[in-house]
Amino acid sequence: MSSDPRTAIMGAAGEVFARFGFKKASVEDIARRAGVGKGSIYLHFESKEALFEACVRMAHSAALSELNARVRRASTPEGQVRAYIQCKLEQQSRKPLGERIELSTLFELGLQAAQFIPRMLEDDAAVLARILEEGVEQGAFTVAGPHHVARGLVMMLMQLTVKMMPDEPDAELKQSVDSFFEVFVRGLLKRSPS
């Protein structure tokens, strides 16, 4: 795919880690998919763990950019919240990409990974918290503790990263998730004064 081996390796690694998790993913398999020799991986990454971390960081960074862009395109707070949730859900259902690396795959790595996970989570939550606060200021939302709510939602969404349906975008499933979040959004809205 890519003539740059580093990129090719990270792409292949993203796919393999997403499909098999950290332990089950084999370096040999990643190399084969990347179209490089097994040893070449070690020219670019210190170890399998380092490669995994690089994949996660890159994936999250790209996802965060997209998230910001999508949110900015909506004009009302409610629209922004919906855009936020939609964007996240779409990112997770995108097929072969690194964004789909599961949270619990991260935990396989143990303590070291635990250090950058909260950071990623906070990055995502900050975007949402901002939206909620603005919604409150503008009189659109009623939210007690926007920061906490934002973190809670983000955590829910990160969990979802688990590839719910191995590869097919299940319509039933999607509707369930949508319905759930519909209730959530309704819970945010300020009630018209009686």
**Phi/psi at 190 (nearest 5 deg)?**
-70, 135
Residue 104 as a binder of DNA (CB under 7 A): the answer is no
- Which span (37-45, 55-63, 116-124, 163-171) binds DNA, by CB under 7 A? 37-45
Q: Which two tokens stand for residue 138?
A: 């503008």
**Residues at the site binding a second copy, with contacts judged by CB under 8 A:** 21, 23-24, 102-105, 107-108, 111, 114, 143-145, 148-149, 151-153, 155-156, 159-160, 162-166, 173, 175-188, 191-194
Cα separations in angstroms, 135 against 22, 60, 71, 126, 129: 40, 26, 13, 14, 10
Residue 36 as a binder of DNA (CB under 7 A): the answer is yes
Closest CA to 2 of 29, 36, 49, 39: 36
Which residue, 44 or 130, has its beta carbon nearer to DNA?
A: 44
Closest CA to 58 of 96, 11, 1, 94: 11
- In 48-170, which residue ranges form alpha helices assigned H by DSSP? 48-73, 77-93, 103-108, 111-137, 146-160
Count of residues in contact with DNA, rule CB under 7 A? 18
Residue 5 as a binder of DNA (CB under 7 A): the answer is yes
CA distance 69 to 98: 19
CB 1, min distance to a second copy, A: 25
CA distance 94 to 86: 12
Binding partner of residue 55 among DNA, a second copy, none, CB under 5 to 8 Å per kind? none
Site pattern 14..33 for DNA (x: CB under 7 A): ----------xxxxx-----
Binding partner of residue 48 among DNA, a second copy, none, CB under 5 to 8 Å per kind? DNA
Binding partner of residue 38 among a second copy, DNA, none, CB under 5 to 8 Å per kind? DNA
Contacts of 167 (CB under 8 A, 6+ apart): 95
Among 7, 19, 49, 155, binds DNA (CB under 7 A): 49
Chain positions contacting DNA, by CB under 7 A:
5, 24-28, 35-40, 42-44, 47-49
